[in-house]
Structure 1
Amino acid sequence: MPVSPWNTLGPLAALSLLMSNVPAEATTVRVHYDVGYGNRITVRGSKAPLSWSTGTSATWGPGNIWTLSWANSVGEVELKPLVNDVSWSAGANYRIPAGATVDLYPFFGTASGRLQYVPSVYSPQLGNSRTLAVYLPPSYSENPLKRYPVVYAHDGQNLFNAATAFGGVEWRMDETANALIASGAMDEVIIVGVYNAAAQRIYEYTPCCDPQYGGGGAEAYARFLIDTVKPYVDQNFRTLTGPQNTALLGSSLGGLVSFHAGRNHPSVFGKLAALSSSFWWNGQALTQQVEASPTKVPVRVYLDAGTNGDGLAETTRMRDALVADGHVQGADLFYYVAQGAGHTEAAWAARLHLPLTYLFPWQGTAY
């Protein structure tokens, strides 16, 4: 362990020593990171007592939490943690408002997540099995003190691997997430790609019931996510489990089921992204439900459509229904028109950065 007063003092005495160094009205950062024996965390920042040229040492405490405080009168500060005042944390600068106490979970390696596959996940709700492709973000192995929001993304075989993707065109979701995290445009997230069940896709991704295509399994699929997939993910990975940290994402019928499940289960899914959604389903019945809703559902929503045969009119009608319901563009609603884009995997891959950064912006995670 680093040399620390915690090694020689009792808990109450150590706490008193730590608090004696904190200004009465203080802004505080707590850096959660295990640097290993003999190393330390320093902080560089934009305003005195910090500077960008030389780091200020943080104080180590139990749980490998490094704490640094300064007077509120300094105002908002931009900063970055470093290891031994040499290795800078990845991503953007952190913004620390005056008077706040902010927990940081940095990493110092390369911004490259990894994939882990979970085969043959059985659904008692649907009577079939499928694979989960789980993207673990760059810091997952490096900083075991950190927990992460989770995105449950449909049509999982299309997201990460061209060999399994429809038409051989993948979304490059892992590469996109890596780049956004490295640039500091989004927070780290776990992405669970839930494979579709091929012949059962239309049934599972749709509410009841379109005159031409039938369907009607959307609620059973939602229960599969809620009662089978999410408990497994929460038990086996370091997740943040609340609705504010749990999102759905999909395109086409996957957008439709994302919207359906998010609206019907806001206590589980607090965010959703519906790309090029099939809101035409069953005479736009889902849109009509929103238009008739007496109360706003507390879900953060991303909607988009392209201008090239991509259901833009139906998506715009859904946007209007959400606005009438109380959603506000730029706050809990992001509506985007993709000029020239059609209904293709390549088009969704090209704008994937928009829902990811909207739903999980840098420093937007509630720990």
Structure 2
Amino acid sequence: MAPRSKKPVEGTLIRVHYDAGWGNRITLRGNKPPLAWSVGQEATWSDGHVWTYVWPKDSGKLEFKPLLNDRSWSIGGNYELHGGAPVDIYPSFAPGAATLEKKYDFFSPQLNNSRTLIVSLPPSYVENPLKRYPVLYMHDGQNCFEDSSSFTGVSWGVDRTRDALVSQGRMDEVIIVGITNIGPQRAFEYTGGQRNERFGGGDLYGAFLVETVKPWVDRQYRTLPGREDTALMGSSLGGLISFYLGTRYPHVFSKVACLSSAFGWNGLDLVSEVYSWGEPPPVKFYIDAGTNRDPWIPTQRMKEALLSKGYVQGENLYHYEDKGGRHTEASWAKRVHKPLRFLFPWQSTSTPR
């Protein structure tokens, strides 16, 4: 084990949180001296399995990666350190597979019904127990991960896309929670507005998600529960309810992805609502639609409404037009990498407090 540091050294601190095990060590390689890509510099172990390295420069940008025993590179992209700003990272080194866990008969006191929650834990979840994760909540959960349960027999495969993007250093790791729909209740739960027997239960569904589902997930798993690390995503009516809840709970969700959303619902009701906003909610939105029998025009109207309120494409808004895209899980699977990268770009996750 590396010796403990006896006196502080001036510079910018890099903290690598990882239990390397007895006799192992963490090194760093990087693109500027005294670091190099050819051989690693030793990090110093401290209590809590925090390995520290003091970058002696006080300005400029450094790209670096930790290694286990100076042989195994951390999974994902290069990390960045900007002059004077310390950085905390929670790496993993062993390639693995995501884990699906299912919570059956999860009861909703708000809706008086039960459903299954499907939780996808990223490959590093077991390897690095010091790490906490952002959470993406997805509607129509049976369509998210497994072809065998998907409505059309083709799932989004969102966990596989996430893991591929992480390994390429194009997004941060996240826990994904799929909330399955209850077929006959889907339209009721995924629409807001005036309530009747068939429609308008979105506020009840939102209360279920915020007051029951999210607290359970935060207790059960190592999450980052703050709004800056919590997102929603869905398609069709699932995209509609994602947008609706994002605007009702901006203190809970900071980012929302809406694919092929039913923005034409109830006479473009949500689009009209955006135009009536005073101060826009502090939420970033991804919206898209295909051009082949998809709600392309209503999505254009929503884009125009958001732009009129000061949203900026590429910053807090990402609008995408999928040429030839259709209203199917297969189309959403092909482009789900876009909202994932927009919502959770590499090295964007907040540091646990």
For the pair 1:340 / 2:339, whether they are aligned, the reply is: no
Show CA shifts across 1:107-149 (max 9, x none): 0011521111111100001010000110001110000000000
CA shift for structure 1 position 167:
1.6
Q: What's the CA shift string for 1:186-234, capped at 9, x where partnerless?
A: 10000000000111000000012499x9510011000000010000000
Determine whether 1:243 maps to 2:227: yes
Q: Which amino acid aligns with 1:49?
A: P
Number of the residue aligned with 1:270: 254
Partner of 1:301, secondary structure, is: strand
Query: Which residue, 192, 195, 200 being the options, matches 2:180?
Result: 195
TM-aligned CA deviation for residue 76 of structure 1: 0.9
Q: Deviations over 1:274-303 (max 9, x none)?
A: 000001111011111111111111001100
What does 1:34-45 align with in structure 2 at a 5 Å threshold?
Answer: 34-45=19-30
Contact preservation (8 Å) 1:208, 1:214: no
Matched-pair identity in %: 52
Is the contact between residue 156 and residue 333 of structure 2 (CA under 8 Å) also seen in structure 1? yes
In 2 relative to 1, CA 342–210 (structure 1 residues): closer, same or farther, beyond 3 Å? Answer: farther
> AA paired with 2:35?
L
Per the alignment, residue 116 of structure 2 pairs with: 131
Aligned to 1:109: 94
Q: Tell me how far apart the structure 2 counterparts of residues 149 and 201 of structure 1 sit (CA, whole Å).
A: 26
1:314 to 298, 303, 310: 298
Asked whether the 8 Å contact 1:90–1:111 carries over to 2, the reply is: no
Tell me the number of residue pairs that the alignment of Structure 1 and Structure 2 aligns: 351
Tell me, yes or no, if the aligned pair for 1:115 and 1:134 is still in contact at 8 Å: yes
Q: In the TM superposition, what whole-angstrom CA distance separates every residue of 1:219-268 from its partner, at most 9, and x where no partner exists?
A: 10000000100000000000000111000000000000000000110000
CA distance in 2, matches of 1:197, 1:167: 16
Aligned with 1:78: secondary structure? strand
CA contact (8 A) 2:125 2:131 kept: yes
Partner of residue 241 from structure 2, selected from 257, 261, 271: 257
Structure 2 partner of 1:233: 217
Q: CA deviation at 1:71?
A: 2.4
Contact residue 287 and residue 321 of structure 1 kept, 8 A: yes
Q: Deviations over 1:292-339 (max 9, x none)?
A: 111111001100011112111111111111111121111111110000
The structure 1 residue matched to 2:126, chosen from 141, 152, 155, is 141
Q: Does 1:92 align with 2:91?
A: no
Q: Does residue 153 of the first structure (1) align with residue 152 of the second (2)? A: no
**Secondary structure of residue in 2 paired with 1:166:** coil
Gaps of 5+ in 1: 6-13
Question: Which amino acid in 2 is paired with 1:194?
Answer: I
Structure 2 Cα separation of the partners of residues 319 and 231 of structure 1:
32
Measure, in 2, the Cα distance between the counterparts of 1:36 and 1:121.
Answer: 38
Q: How does 1:47-86 map to 2 (within 5 A)?
A: 47-73=32-58, 75-86=60-71
1:347 & 1:61 partners in 2: Cα distance?
48
Name the Cα RMSD after superposition: 1.4
User: Is the Cα contact below 8 Å between 1:111 and 1:179 reproduced in 2?
Assistant: no
CA distance in 2, matches of 1:3, 1:280: 61
| Equivalent residue runs for 1:277-316 within 5 Å | 277-316=261-300
Q: TM-score normalized by structure 1?
A: 0.93
Gaps of 5+ in 2: none
CA–CA distance in structure 1, aligned partners of residues 57 and 230 of structure 2: 33
- Aligned equivalents of 1:53, 1:4: Cα separation in 2: 23
CA contact (8 A) 1:304 1:315 kept: yes
**2:347 maps to what in 1?**
363
What CA distance in whole angstroms lies between the structure 1 residues aligned with 2:285 and 2:228?
A: 12
Q: Name the TM-score, length of structure 2 as normaliser.
A: 0.97
1:72 Cα deviation after fit:
2.7
SS at 2:136 equivalent:
strand
In structure 2, distance between residues paired with 1:166 and 1:148: 29
Contact 1:152/1:194 (<8 A) preserved: yes
- Answer whether contact 1:111 1:178 (CA < 8 A) is retained: no
The DSSP-based 3-state class of the residue aligned with 2:107 is strand
Contact 1:275 1:305 in 2 (8 A): yes
Counterpart Cα distance in 2 of 1:36 and 1:337? 48
Task: Check whether the contact 1:210–1:282 (CA below 8 A) recurs between aligned residues.
Answer: no
Secondary structure of 2:285's match?
strand
Q: How does 1:149-228 map to 2 (within 5 A)?
A: 149-209=134-194, 214-228=198-212
Change beyond 3 A, Cα 1:178–1:75: same
SS of aligned partner of 1:179: helix
Rounded Cα–Cα distance in structure 2 between residues aligned with 1:158 and 1:318? 25
Superposition deviation, residue 62 in structure 1:
1.3
